Amino acid sequence: MNYKKICVIGLGYIGLPTASTFAMQDLDVLGVDINPSIIATLNRGEIHIHEPGLREIFNTAIQAGKFRAATSPEEADAFIIAVPTPFRDHQFGEYQGKQFKLADMTAVISAAESILPVLREGNLVILESTSPPRTTVDLLAPILERSGLKAGIDFHLCYSPERVLPGQILRELIENARVIGGITPESAQAGFDLYSVFVKGKIIKTDSTTAEMVKLMENTYRDVNIAIANEFSRLAEKFSVDVWEAISIANLHPRVKILSPGPGVGGHCISVDPWFFVETAPEITPLIYQSRQVNDSQPAFVVRMVQRALGDLNGKQIAALGLAYKPDVDDLRESPAVEVVHLLQSQGARVLAWEPFKPDAKLPGVSMANSLEETLQNADAVLLLVSHTEFKKIEPDQISGKTRARIAIDTVNGWDSKSWQDAGFKIVKIGVGK
C-alpha cells in the first residue's frame, strides 16, 4: 500500500516523535490532540515534550509543511492511536480477596470514536497504546465498525506497540524490531507497509492479540525478574550475605542474569503493564501479582533499613539524593524514591530532597533543596535513592566537611563502601547483611 497522508492521534512522548518521524519521510501528517494548548504550541513551531533530537526533526517537518496539528482527525490513509492507558483512579478489581488495579481505556475509546466520521474504505487503523490482551478485537473493532465498515474487510486494523526507551526514542523508533499484529494477515501487511517507510529494524507480522501480549510480556518479564532480585536482597540481609557479591558470582553462570535490587520499580511502564494481565486473568497470574506486591513493598523495606541505621526516625533530618524513577532521567512518575520519602516522613523524619534533573519538582509534602550542599547541611544521614551518574561520582572525603551526617545509606549500590568508611562514614547498603 502507498500512504500519502496519516493522522496521529495523541501527541505525547510516543505520538509526537512518531508523527515527526513519518513527516520526515515526506508523508503529510496531521497530529491530533484533545488538548488545545498542545495544538497551539505545535502550530507555533514549538514542542511541549523533552526528547533529544525531537525539536530538530519537528522543525524540519513544520518548515517543509509536512506536519500540522488539530484537535480532531481528518480523512487520511492511515490513523495511528497513541494515547495514554493509565489506571482508573478510584476503582479496583478484586479476586479472592486480592485487589488489583484496572486500566482506564477512556482515551482509546474517545480516540476511536473521533475517527468514526472520517473513516473510509481501504483505511488502516493502528493502535499503539499499551493495552490489555484482546483490546484490538474486543474493544477497538466494535467501535470502529459503528461507521458501517467492517474491520479486516473494509478497513485494516492492527496493534503495534511502542517499545522505545525515553531519551533514545528517535533512534529506537527506527532501529528497534517492530511487531505488527493485524486482525487479518492483510491488515498486518498493510501495517508492515506503513512502518517500512522508516523502520530499519526487523518488522514482524503477527495477529493483534499476540502483539498485545508481546508488549505486556516484555515488561512483565522485567518486573518479575526485578522482584526476585529484590527478594534476594531481603534474603541476603537475613543470612548476613552481600547480595551484590552473590549476584556477581551467580551471574558468572552462563544461563543466569540476575538483575539489580533497588528501592522498587517505577515509571509508567514496568510498574503498570503487569496489572493488565492480572486484570484480565487474575485466576492464572499469581506470580505476576506477587511480583508487583514485592516491588511495591520495596520502599517500605528501604525505610526499615533506614530505621535500623538511625533508630527512631522522629525528628531525624535525612538528605535524600534523587527522586527520579531511574538514573539520569527527569521523570518522577510512580517513582519508588518519592514513595520512600513519603514513608520516611510518615515515621516523623524530616527529609530534604535533591533531584538535579528536576530541582523545581513540586510534590505534595516533599521539601526540595536547591543544591546538594543545601541537602547535606543539617542532615543526620545521607540517603542515596537514585543511581544518577553525578551521585555515583560523589567523593565522600569531599562531602564529609559539608555535613554533620556520619551515616550513608545506599539503596542502589551506587557507592563504594570502603571509600565512605575511609572518609569516616558508617555505610549501610541495600542487600548487605555483613
Q: Specify whether the CB–CB gap between 154 and 203 falls below 8 A.
A: no
Residue closer to ligand SAJ, measured from CB, 316 or 388: 388
Place of cell 552473590: 246
Segment near ligand SAJ (CB under 6 A); pick from 22-30, 160-168, 375-383, 420-428: 160-168
- Most distant CA pair in the chain: distance in Å? 75
* Residues belonging to the chain: 434
Least distance between ligand SAJ and beta carbon 145 (Å): 29
Least distance between ligand SAJ and beta carbon 142 (Å): 26
Residue closer to ligand SAJ, measured from CB, 163 or 316: 163
Residue closer to ligand SAJ, measured from CB, 338 or 344: 338
User: In DSSP terms, which residues pair with 353 in a beta bridge?
Assistant: 320, 368
Q: Does 73 bind ligand SAJ (CB under 6 A)?
A: no
Least distance between ligand SAJ and beta carbon 267 (Å): 4
Residue closer to ligand SAJ, measured from CB, 62 or 412: 412
Cβ neighbourhood burial of 365 (10 Å; 0-12, 13-18, 19+) = exposed
Q: Does 155 bind ligand SAJ (CB under 6 A)?
A: no
Residue closer to ligand SAJ, measured from CB, 155 or 159: 159
Total of residues contacting ligand SAJ (CB under 6 A): 17
Q: Does 219 bind ligand SAJ (CB under 6 A)?
A: yes
Segment near ligand SAJ (CB under 6 A); pick from 121-129, 159-167, 194-202, 236-244: 159-167
Residue closer to ligand SAJ, measured from CB, 190 or 236: 236
Residue choice 108, 164, 227, 340 for contact with ligand SAJ (CB under 6 A): 164
CA distance 186 to 369: 56
Least distance between ligand SAJ and beta carbon 158 (Å): 18
Residue choice 28, 104, 193, 218 for contact with ligand SAJ (CB under 6 A): 218
Q: Does 269 bind ligand SAJ (CB under 6 A)?
A: yes
Residue choice 66, 101, 156, 163 for contact with ligand SAJ (CB under 6 A): 163
Least distance between ligand SAJ and beta carbon 413 (Å): 10
> Where in the sequence numbering do the catalytic residues fall?
215, 269
Q: Specify whether the CB–CB gap between 42 and 48 falls below 8 A.
A: yes
Q: Does 323 bind ligand SAJ (CB under 6 A)?
A: no
In one-letter notation, the amino acid at residue 430 is I
Q: Does 347 bind ligand SAJ (CB under 6 A)?
A: no
User: HSE on the CB side for 54, CA within 13 Å?
Assistant: 25
Q: Does 165 bind ligand SAJ (CB under 6 A)?
A: yes
Q: Does 267 bind ligand SAJ (CB under 6 A)?
A: yes
Q: Does 222 bind ligand SAJ (CB under 6 A)?
A: yes
User: HSE on the CB side for 306, CA within 13 Å?
Assistant: 32
Q: Does 243 bind ligand SAJ (CB under 6 A)?
A: no
Q: Which residues contact 394 (CB under 8 A, 6 or more apart)?
A: 372, 415
Residue choice 262, 322, 414, 431 for contact with ligand SAJ (CB under 6 A): 262
Segment near ligand SAJ (CB under 6 A); pick from 40-48, 149-157, 245-253, 267-275: 267-275
Residues near ligand SAJ (CB under 6 A) are 163-165, 218-219, 222, 226, 259-260, 262, 265-267, 269-270, 325-326
